[in-house]
């Protein structure tokens, strides 16, 4: 399988996103690493894939899970790096999903005022979204990603064969971001998602289909590629990449992260579409199309009834996209046309949440 190379430019340089197979063993060559390597991974991914990197100068394994995406975890990593003699010419390599990438990127951005950083995402969600664009960060008890920095990687190596060891739930979670990218920037991608089921078992059972998965991932990354090149620091269009996230992050946090990120995003995308129609911004047939695509990827389309709508709405106000007393929501006109709307009446948002709780799958 020939790798697909997608170049990303940003104000201080450029890097390649390489989508292929068996990439990790060549990380020094592909990412042009000269100094020491700090390999940061988690307790799930490390035992599966860390050996492919050979000997590294500092191996750090964090406990898996969003609940460990904290400043306390970062502080422990600093200590391990200092003890290993890691200097400013070293490179942090993130091996794992979005949590590992966010934490490792924040460490790279802040250790000795910044050292090089390479992303090796092993989840679908991280490949198509979290690893591209340079956003890093950790959570506070008050909300997700409230502390962070922009730190551009020097390379992203998306080895699609690592996806075959995901659970079906984690793979589905990543598909939420693929669907989101189709909705916000690529109608052809969205039609591709509508026209077939995208389930992990298909690729596990028939590896001849893996090039289809490779091309889907590359097509989804191209949407984010276009957005982050245009708006590297989220001053405008880049905020639209948060379609579904304001609702989704609130649901995730209320659930104690029992709801996966992609599951929350899926619910949030349906909520954003429902609210858009309620405000007269999109046709009535868009929500059924969105729900059908999500269901083909084995994703939820309704908000669990045990979560209090008032509490969901309160948590939405802790979102980073809040501007003063205005909550900015990403809404949709049609496939490929999303927009930012502030000042939506709280009654409309709450009615959307309640409606999506009453209608069960």
Residue 256 tokens read as 């104690």
CB burial readout 116-130, b (16+ within 10 A) else e:
bbbbbbbbbbbbbbb
Report the DSSP pairing between strands 326-334 and 322-323. Answer: antiparallel
3-state secondary structure 285-328: CHHHHHHHHHHHCCCCCCCCCCCCHHHHHHHHCCCCCEECCEEE
Q: Which of 55, 113, 142, 195 does the annotation list as catalytic?
A: 113
Q: Which of 24, 180, 238, 321 does the annotation list as catalytic?
A: 238
Assess whether 177 carries a catalytic annotation. yes
Q: Please tell me the predicted confidence (pLDDT) of residue 323.
A: 61
Q: Which of 66, 177, 252, 263 does the annotation list as catalytic?
A: 177
Q: Which of 145, 242, 298, 328 does the annotation list as catalytic?
A: 242
Q: Which of 24, 151, 224, 320 does the annotation list as catalytic?
A: 224
Residue 160 tokens read as 């699609």
Q: Which of 151, 192, 249, 321 does the annotation list as catalytic?
A: 249
What is the dihedral angle through the alpha carbons of 182, 172, 299, 183, rounded to the nearest 10 degrees? -10
Instruction: Give CA–CA dist 291/302, Å, rounded.
Output: 9
CA 255-256-261 angle, to 5 degrees, is: 75
Sequence-ordered list of residues with C-beta below 8 angstroms from that of 312, at least 6 positions apart, any chain:
247, 250, 251, 254, 303, 353
Backbone angles phi, psi at 89, to 5 degrees: -90, 5
Q: Which residues are paired to 119 by β-bridges? A: 94, 156
Q: Which of 260, 261, 274, 320 does the annotation list as catalytic?
A: 261
User: How many beta carbons lie within 10 A of that of residue 292, not counting itself?
Assistant: 12
Nearest CA-CA partner of 132 in 151, 111, 104, 116: 151
Assess whether 258 carries a catalytic annotation. no
User: How many beta carbons lie within 10 A of that of residue 174, not counting itself?
Assistant: 31
Please, what's the largest Cα pairwise distance for the chain? Answer: 60
Q: Which residues are paired to 330 by β-bridges? A: 340
Q: Which of 66, 69, 170, 234 does the annotation list as catalytic?
A: 234
Assess whether 277 carries a catalytic annotation. no
Residue with tokens 């042009």: 32
Instruction: Give CA–CA dist 155/18, Å, rounded.
Output: 8
Assess whether 224 carries a catalytic annotation. yes
Assess whether 144 carries a catalytic annotation. no
Assess whether 32 carries a catalytic annotation. no
Assess whether 238 carries a catalytic annotation. yes
Assess whether 242 carries a catalytic annotation. yes
Instruction: Give CA–CA dist 340/243, Å, rounded.
Output: 9
Tens-binned pLDDT, residue by residue, of the chain (361 aa): 899 999 999 988 999 999 999 999 999 999 999 999 999 999 999 999 999 999 999 999 999 999 999 999 999 999 999 999 999 999 999 999 999 999 999 999 999 999 999 999 999 999 999 899 999 999 999 888 999 999 999 999 999 999 999 999 999 999 999 999 999 999 999 999 999 999 999 999 999 999 999 999 999 999 999 998 998 888 888 899 999 999 999 999 999 989 999 999 999 999 999 999 999 999 999 999 999 999 999 999 999 999 999 999 999 998 766 666 889 999 999 999 999 999 999 999 999 999 999 765 4
CA 241-242-247 angle, to 5 degrees, is: 160
Q: Is 338 helix (H, G, I), strand (E, B) or coil?
A: strand
């Amino acid at each position: 399988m020939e790798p697909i190379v997608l170049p990303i430019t940003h104000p201080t340089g450029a890097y390649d996103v390489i989508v292929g197979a068996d990439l990790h063993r060549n990380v020094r060559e592909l990412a042009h690493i000269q100094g020491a390597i700090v390999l940061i991974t988690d307790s799930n991914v490390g035992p599966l894939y860390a050996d492919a990197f050979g000997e590294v100068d500092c191996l750090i394994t964090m406990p898996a899970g969003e609940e460990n995406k904290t400043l306390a975890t970062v502080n422990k990593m600093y200590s391990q790096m200092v003890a290993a003699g890691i200097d400013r010419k070293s490179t942090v390599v993130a091996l794992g999903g979005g949590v590992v990438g966010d934490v490792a990127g924040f460490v790279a951005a802040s250790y000795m005022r910044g050292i090089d950083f390479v992303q090796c995402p092993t989840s679908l969600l991280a490949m198509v979204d979290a690893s591209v664009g340079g956003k890093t960060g950790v959570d506070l008890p008050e909300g997700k990603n409230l502390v962070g920095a922009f730190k551009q990687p020097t390379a992203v190596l998306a080895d699609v064969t690592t996806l075959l060891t995901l659970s079906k739930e984690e793979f589905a979670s990543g598909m939420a971001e693929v669907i989101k990218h189709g909705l916000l920037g690529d109608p052809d991608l969205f039609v591709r998602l509508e026209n077939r089921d995208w389930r992990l078992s298909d690729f596990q059972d028939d590896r001849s289909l893996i090039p289809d998965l490779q091309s889907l991932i590359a097509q989804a990354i191209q949407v984010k590629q276009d957005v982050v090149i245009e708006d590297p620091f989220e001053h405008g269009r880049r905020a639209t990449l948060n379609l579904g996230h304001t609702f989704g992050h609130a649901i995730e946090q209320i659930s104690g992260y029992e709801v996966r990120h992609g599951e929350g995003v899926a619910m949030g995308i349906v909520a954003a579409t429902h609210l858009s129609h309620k405000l007269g911004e999109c046709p009535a047939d868009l929500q059924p199309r969105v729900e059908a695509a999500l269901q083909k990827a084995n994703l939820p389309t309704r908000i669990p009834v045990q979560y209090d709508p008032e509490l969901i709405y309160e948590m939405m106000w802790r979102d980073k996209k809040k501007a003063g007393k205005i909550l900015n929501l990403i809404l949709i006109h049609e496939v490929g046309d999303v927009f930012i709307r502030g000042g939506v009446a709280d009654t409309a948002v709450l009615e959307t949440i309640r409606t999506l709780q009453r209608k069960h799958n």
